[in-house]
Amino acid sequence: MDKGATYVEDVFIWSQRQAALLRELARAGVALPNELDLPNIAEEIEDVGRSELNSVLSHLEEMLIHAIKAASRPDAEPYCHWLNEIDAHQAALLRHFTPGMRQQIDLGASWRRARKRAERALLRFDEMMASMPDELPFALEQLLGEDFAAETLVLHLRAPRHE
């Protein structure tokens, strides 16, 4: 864990470190005002980082869901809307992502959840999901790239696979 990360630099690492320090204080019995509820304060601070991580995971999965829909139905009326949603979720992902989260993101699990949710969403409109790769053909770094394009993601998902 990066002990030097500040709140502004990496809120996830900062929150995990601050919570650990508060728990150490509680275990050490350091003389502090009796009103301080260190275990619950530590939990709340830790939740700040978890909340940011959950936001990143949510935006990542929403981005993938819209990409799957667009790749499955490029002729559908909401195709451009889906592309705009991919862009919006990627922008939010960039705003909330910090390097300390990288190890906490299971891209494979996010991809599997996105595939299931996209398939259910398409079935509600009597549409079938196109064949998708078992593994997401993009690395996290690519999805976080400043030059990322929704169209590139969708086209790559639509590419024929040799199985």
Q: Considering its fold, how many domains does the chain have in total?
A: 1
> Mind listing the pLDDT tens digit for each residue in 93-146?
999 999 999 999 999 999 999 999 999 999 999 999 999 999 999 999 999 998
Is 42 inside a domain boundary? no
Q: Averaged over 30-52, what is the pLDDT? A: 81
pLDDT digits (tens, 9 = 90+) for 51-73: 999 999 999 999 999 999 999 99
Cα 74 from chain centroid (whole Å) = 25
User: Which pTM does this prediction carry?
Assistant: 0.85
Q: What is the mean pLDDT of the chain?
A: 89
Q: Is residue 138 part of a domain?
A: yes
Residue 115, pLDDT score: 97
Structural domain contains residue 139:
yes
Q: Is residue 145 part of a domain?
A: yes
Q: Is residue 16 assigned to a domain?
A: no
Residue 111: inside a domain, yes or no? Answer: yes
Residue 84's domain comprises 51-158
* Any domain includes 97: yes
* Residue 162 confidence class, pLDDT cut points 50, 70, 90: low
In a domain, 163, yes or no: no
CATH at 67: 1.20.1220.20
